[in-house]
A = this chain, B = another copy of it.
Amino acid sequence: MNQVIVIGAGFSGIAAAKKLFEANIPFIVLEARERLGGRVFTKQLNQDLYLDFGGQWIGPSHDRMYALCEEFGIEYFETYDEGFNLLDLDQKVKKFKGLIPKMDILSLLNLDYVLKKLERMAKSIPLDSPWNHPKAMEFDSITLGAFVTSNCKTFACRKVITLALETVFASELNEISLLHGLFYIKSGRDLNTLINIKNGAQLHRIVGGMQTIIEKMAIPFKERIYFNHPVEKITKEKDDYLVTGRDFSFTAKRIIIAIPPPLAAKIEFQPMLSVEKRQVMDRIAMGQVGKCFMIYQRPFWRDSGFSGQAFADGHSPFQSMFDTSPKDGKYGIILGFTIGKRAREYFQKSKEERKKLMLDKLVCYYGRDAAHPISYEDFTMTDEAWSRGCYAGLYPTGAWTGFQDAYSKTEGNIYWAGTEASKIWFGYIEGAVRSGEQAAENIILNLSEGAHKK
């Protein structure tokens, strides 16, 4: 019999499976899709052209991710980050270098004030128990959006902070609890790390795409992964769990849930999970982001001293753009992020219209050289039934103070993983891996204690 059933073959589930495999514990992985990776998905367009449709970056303190690269001999390289960035505000496009765009002095002072205030507040959040912060109730009764609105005194400052934070969270800011925003920032070290490329969470990319890593991780136990196996029901029967789907059933002593919260909420548990777990799952919704790629023969913008980075207010469909060309520079690829409402509007248009919208922006930014791409691709996890959104599940107001750590808590022998169960790098691939490994380690510990008792 299986000791463990892991549900979900994203980074979290496969990191758990790897640990179990190494500890010689019998397990299987049940995955709803026909592929590995979950919210990481590298699309191979041709032999040397790939696009990361899902998570794609790693950076400082992503210790587990770097360790995996090391272990599997996977090459990574620095995200291109030289030259001028662009700020596209109020229909005007301005060049700037570094992190802070050119603005009037009042806006700059305001920007500095708000960023520092956010950093300071985030620093004070106890990662293990955000609800224990002295001002937890206050921070959990307002949204990150309301905080930004009331602290930004100039129009330009508010727009710049909003588009930066929307890019960080992949969400409208009025959907996120301020307390969750602060927790999230602390969980990823600090705001500076989250926003930055250099020394930040966007420092490195993977040669061949992020999925390369998970493919290698899964090789030793590939035959234990059952694809096209969406789990519908988990029933406790004496000491075992019966895990069933439309046309399968398996039993195990222990379960690891490594899927997004809204999908975990769809599984029928018998007996029911705790009221806190059920209710917090009903409250956590997924962020919404689309990734749009314009592919050129070469990264021509670099020649004119542009970084490929651009940041825009609501006049553009894209909050932010990045140079995501491959390491060898064989292609030039601009990645545009469209987030929240902008994403919903964008993806209601046809692919031709979407391509045109992005092309128009790029021609506006980089001139006529931008008018002749090889191709255009885009993707949004929002339309993926087995993700329901990206990057992560976000806590609305009242959830942290009302339900505390109910989401990540083990119930019976059901263990919770997935990036939303991580206190470190919540919302990032690093958090997914950590939570998966942690769940597996808890089971291994639990089993060895059980063995000692016998």
Binding site for B on A (CB under 8 A): 137-138, 140-143, 145-146, 149, 172-175, 232, 262, 265-266, 268, 272, 275-276, 278-279, 282-283, 285-286, 288, 340-341, 344, 347-348, 382-383, 385, 388-389, 396-399, 401-402
Contact = CB atoms under 8 A, between A and B. Distances in A.
Nearest to A286: B282
Given A174-B397, A402-B341, A145 B141 contact: yes
Given A140-B174, A262-B265, A275-B344, 16 more contacts: A138-B149, A141-B142, A141-B146, A143-B398, A146-B146, A175-B396, A175-B398, A175-B399, A262-B282, A266-B266, A268-B385, A275-B383, A276-B344, A279-B285, A279-B382, A396-B396
10 contacts: A172-B398, A174-B398, A174-B401, A174-B402, A175-B283, A265-B266, A275-B382, A276-B344, A278-B388, A279-B382
Contacts of A175: 283, 396-399, 402
B272 A396 contact: no
A110 B143 CA distance: 25
A45 B340 CA distance: 50
A288 B279 contact: yes
Contacts of A268: 385
Contacts of A137: 174
Top-10 shortest CB links A-B: A175-B398, A141-B174, A174-B398, A396-B396, A282-B285, A141-B146, A141-B145, A283-B285, A262-B282, A142-B146
Nearest to A142: B146
A389 B140 CA distance: 22
Contacts of A286: 279, 282
A238 B190 CA distance: 52
Contacts of A262: 265, 282
A262 B278 CA distance: 11
Please indicate which of the listed interface residues A175, A268, A278, A402 has the most CB atoms of chain B within 10 Å of its own CB.
A175
Contacts of A340: 402
A288 B383 CA distance: 30
A187 to B, nearest CB: 21
A396 B140 contact: no
A431 to B, nearest CB: 20
A348 B279 CA distance: 14
A398 B282 contact: no
A109 B149 CA distance: 30
B141 A388 contact: no
B275 A347 contact: yes
A146 B172 CA distance: 19
Given A388-B278, A388-B282, A143 B142 contact: yes
Contacts of A174: 137, 140-141, 397-398, 401-402
Contacts of A389: 279, 282
A245 to B, nearest CB: 11
Nearest to A380: B275
A285 to B, nearest CB: 4
A409 to B, nearest CB: 14
Nearest to A171: B398
A285 B402 CA distance: 13
A268 B263 CA distance: 11
A344 B340 CA distance: 32
Please indicate which of the listed interface residues A141, A344, A402 has the most CB atoms of chain B within 10 Å of its own CB.
A141
Contact of A283 (B149, B347, B396): B396
A146 B147 CA distance: 12
A366 B260 CA distance: 50
Contact of A141 (B149, B283, B385, B401): B149
A287 to B, nearest CB: 10
Contacts of A172: 398, 402
Contacts of A382: 275, 278-279
Contacts of A344: 275-276, 279
